[in-house]
Amino acid sequence: MKANLYAVLMLASSLHAVPAGAQENIGTVQSPLISPIVVTEQQQEQLGLLQMTAGGRGCSASLLTNSWAISAAHCLRADAMRSPNTVQLNGNWGANAQLGNADYIYRSWGLDYPGVMYDFALIHLQNPMRVNGSTTGYVRELSELSLADMKNVNVAVYGRGMNVLAVKNGNNFMASSGDNQFRSFVFTVNRTEPNLFWYPAGPNGEMVGGGDSGGPSFEMTRGVPRIAGVHASCHADCLEGKSCPADDQWTWISKIDECGDAPVGYIRTAIQDLTRQMWNPALAVQTLQVRHTEAQVRKEMMLGRLDSLPWDYVRRAAMMACQNRGFDFGFFDGNAQEGVSYQVRCVNASAARWFDAVPADMVRINDRFATIAQTRWAQGARAANDICRNREPASVGGLFTGHEFKTSPSGGFADQRNGVFCFNHSHARWFDATQGELAAQGTPIGDLNATGWAVAGRAANEYCKRKFYPSGGFFNGHQLNDRRGIVCIGKNTVMSDRINVGESFGAARAQAATGGKPSVAAITQADLDSLAARGAGIAAQDPLSVELRERAAEGAAKRGFDIGMAATEGQTQDGPGKKRVRDALSPAEQEGFDVALSFSLQRNANAARAAVGAAIARSDNEVAEARAREPDVFYWLGFDIASGIFGDPAAGAQGNTQTGPGSLGIRNALSPAAQRGFNASVALHLGRKYR
């Protein structure tokens, strides 16, 4: 198969072009190709070549796995990021032709401004594509070459679009034309820029262009085709006597001098980590773990020791991470495994509204400041709260985005503009936390003005969890005597074994007949529907819960599973709160609920270890094979937990070298299948030498 693929790479002849005289992105319209040689349907399938037929801009793409495709960032609009199901990829593979719709997308340009980020996008498909008769097992390698190493490397470039460039015969003009077929050509990289590698046109004018945008280029330094880049930009000439405006760049292109691809070698680890994540931009608030490697996409996202970083820098980094996933806003809450992952709360426009606070807004706030960079987080929080209250009196509170604009460095207070996100009542609530409450939960807080933002973030997060707001929250900067203002975001849920009926099911249904005291309200079908909808999104965040959900029978059992995932989010013990939910279900729903309950409680109690263990299995074939010896998902969970304890410390594991009361206590709290997986993992790792 490798030899055949190599032949495919060397087969070709040509691709596309671009507009007059300057660098342009090449995905807004279909464009010229100049080769008579077409890539066959079978070759397209082998290389995972795809066409973006809806929701994008007439671009190309290619599969990384059965469920993930890579394309160019400029091929996707902000509305596609927010509604990824509008993006459709088409595999024109003859008898195996198929369409796939996206369910979530990562776009390196975020929602709007491209800046200098790498021009790439990752598209996750709702259903995996079938390649060579299977919906599993397809993996396209990414190049390991750095951008500097790409110089003088041969790349086989693929794309689809026009195959005839514009020409002039006497007084007659002939526009570019094409047949929408995939073609290819092998070019030699002759120069690099910070975010692109470039190659000149072939001897007969062969080159890439518009409809080729997002298509792959492959290099063969390891003897197999590895994706080196995606088509991003070109330099081209417009036919003399014609114009090539932005809204019609390709009709009259007559010559393409060179084209550039966004490299994937340098950001390879980030791409691999991103394809192991799940998110849903339709959720009002979602908690995600941003991997340290994501800073490869843009250096401004480099984190590390959060407690030592300025709050405005970290806020901008969170904004990038969330907007790259289709959300509108985000903030890090201070919880992190430094150098590995950082917990971020991503928010969409249904939960909050973005304002660019203008000078007229700035002069109305009490806590005025010269610039965000010189402002402590608590003062900034109070200022954001004032802006939100003035702009939208019904808002609960707000946060600055960290972005600021001044017309001159020496401009006064009224010269600045600041981005602010204001949370609405449907997805946030203000609490006055006492210092006693904060100390009792293990996070004592004194003067907010003298407290680090990350310390405060962790304290607010813990407080909100205890108030049944699993999405956490933030201090709004206000304090009086022993009280500290906290805004908890998201929805109050049945997440605790303490019953808070007024919060969970509505105060009107929670009043007892005697004395008006709260009582246990009946759980309605609407309550269960809400939990089921939430639980489906929660299940999608972990590959193991995804697998368990897939195995649940359609209908009542799967609905029960979803309800169980919502009722146990963030929980580590069973109790009466969950029992109330279970008792409201049918027997078939209870079956699915019990599976979710057992899984969630075991995973949540060992979440960090399980995440590290799963990552080790993805990168270590021997570990992966041992983990897969039993098909039970609980076996995999136990295996991952033990890998997180006994695995290679260089991969993030604890690196324990023998069992003891602590690790055995963890094992003994697991289900029988998980214990078997735990034991197998221990035996494997203790048989190795990591130090």
- Distance, in Å, from the CA atom of 153 to the CA atom of 222, rounded to the nearest integer, reads 12
- Distance, in Å, from the CA atom of 363 to the CA atom of 395, rounded to the nearest integer, reads 19
CA atoms within 13 A on the CB side of 133: 0
Nearest to 237 by CA among 24, 20, 26, 34: 20
Q: Judge contact between 352 and 284, C-beta under 8 A.
A: no
Handedness of CA 361, 364, 367, 371 (dihedral sign): positive
Tell me, what's the pLDDT at 387? 92
Tokens of 202: 């072939």
**What radius of gyration, in Å, describes the C-alpha atoms of the chain?**
27
Tokens of 272: 């691999």
Tokens of 510: 């929670």
Tell me, what's the pLDDT at 376? 94
Tell me, what's the pLDDT at 152? 96
CA atoms within 13 A on the CB side of 35: 28
Q: Judge contact between 237 and 257, C-beta under 8 A.
A: yes
What letters, b where the CB count within 10 A reaches 16 and e where it falls short, cover 501-519?
bebbbeeeebeeeeeeeee
Q: Judge contact between 433 and 416, C-beta under 8 A.
A: no
Nearest to 72 by CA among 88, 58, 61: 61
- Give 144: exposed, middle or buried? Use CB within 10 Å, 0-12, 13-18, 19+: middle
- Distance, in Å, from the CA atom of 452 to the CA atom of 463, rounded to the nearest integer, reads 17
Taking residue 478's Cβ as centre, other Cβ atoms within 10 Å add up to: 17
pLDDT tens column, 626-665: 998 898 999 999 999 999 999 998 888 888 989 888 899 9
Tell me, what's the pLDDT at 55? 59
Tokens of 209: 């262009």
Q: Output the CA angle 521-523-526, nearest 5 degrees.
A: 130
Handedness of CA 110, 112, 117, 123 (dihedral sign): positive
Q: What is the DSSP string of 12-70?
A: --------BSSEEES-SS------S----HHHHHHHTEEEEEESBSS-EEEESBSSEEE
- Distance, in Å, from the CA atom of 552 to the CA atom of 596, rounded to the nearest integer, reads 10
Q: Checking DSSP bridges between strand 60-63 and strand 285-291, what pairing results, if any?
A: unpaired
Tell me, what's the pLDDT at 691? 67
Q: What pairs with residue 123 in β-bridges?
A: 69, 105
pLDDT tens column, 601-613: 999 999 889 989 9
Taking residue 89's Cβ as centre, other Cβ atoms within 10 Å add up to: 26
- Distance, in Å, from the CA atom of 384 to the CA atom of 366, rounded to the nearest integer, reads 10
- Distance, in Å, from the CA atom of 445 to the CA atom of 5, rounded to the nearest integer, reads 62
What DSSP state is assigned to residue 505?
I
Three-state secondary structure string covering 358-418: CHHHHCCCCCCCCCHHHCCHHHHHHHHHHHHHHHCCCCCEEEEEEEEEECCCCCCHHHEEE
> Low-confidence residues of the chain, pLDDT below 50?
1-34, 210, 494-520
What does the chain come to in residues? Answer: 691
Q: Judge contact between 5 and 225, C-beta under 8 A.
A: yes
The helices-and-strands tally (H runs, E runs) of the chain is: 20, 25
